Amino acid sequence: MAARSIASLTVSFGLVSIPVKLFSATETSKTISFNLLHKACGSRLKQQYFCVKEEVPVGREDMAKGYEFAKDQYVMFSSEELKAMEEVGTHTAEITEFVPLEAVDPVYFDKAYYLAPDKGGNKPYALLASALRESKRCALGRWAARGKQYIVMIRPADGGLVMQQLLYAPEVRSIADVDIPQTSVRDAELGLAKQLISQISTNTFDPTKYEDEVKKRIESAIERKLEGQEIAVSPSAPESGGQVIDLMEALKASLAKTTAKRGKAPAATDEAAADSKPAARKAAKKVADEPAPRRKVSKRA
């Protein structure tokens, strides 16, 4: 089914204006959601708001929004006051600069949209897409919609353009806030790690190789429920605690396993070559000699 446009806007840079149509790049309708029901009769529940002071239900007509500036102290705003502070939508994404594609850290990525040329926009659209692709750059700018102002990045993708909504700097925490201890690694360990990476590396990302197993389980359970079957709940496996492992042995065993899967011997690299071969063969024999884990079959009650 053809995608449906959700809005129209103009992308501008310099004196060039490109009329485009906006399409959502993701589908929230593909996610599974549940409604809250009354356990006794199965009817839908309605949400109700209660005043914690007077302990009475409050209707929407009696609600206002407030900002908590201190514990349990608020400044109140009416809907008219909030509306007056909203950004006026201009239906224009104005490009302010061009930067290398790798200059924007993906941690800033938010919602993504596909852009397609609107009436009269074919030529300038193709021009911008080609120029970005050839220069390996993306465009940064601003876009106002739904009362808010957004930073956007426009980048080339598969012959078209993607407009990526970005987070503002204060919305992204610095990795410096995370306590990461400085730890050295041995050359032999680094060599084995690079060898393992090389063995299971590919040049392209194929998202179809990854499936949402949880979603599949839920869909299967829904089908069985609809057919009147009882669903047996399996006990969860006990968590394995913070097990201390030998890093070199783990790397060698991993290499042996991927070698056995691919049916070819890995090319040993750097300082790890002489050290890894005997241990890798030993680890491969150990993996091959291990009996396959027995699958538990749950009995119906």
The β-bridge relationship of strands 49-50 and 16-24 is unpaired
pLDDT at 39: 86
Helix (H) or strand (E) holding 83: helix 79-84
The architecture (CATH level 2) of 7-27+86-170 comes to Beta Barrel (2.40)
Helix (H) or strand (E) holding 23: strand 16-24
pLDDT at 253: 84
Domain regions of the chain by residue span: 7-27+86-170, 188-193+249-288
**Contact between residue 249 and residue 256 where contact means Cβ atoms under 8 Å apart:** no
pLDDT at 113: 95
Angle at alpha carbon of residue 117, lines to 116 and 123, rounded to 5°: 135
pLDDT at 230: 61
Nearest to 163 by CA among 189, 145, 181, 183: 145
Q: What is the mean pLDDT of each run of 10 residues along the chain (301 residues)?
A: 84 91 84 86 87 90 91 90 82 92 94 94 94 96 88 93 95 93 91 89 86 86 80 54 67 81 55 47 47 44 34
DSSP one-letter code for 177: G
pLDDT at 100: 96
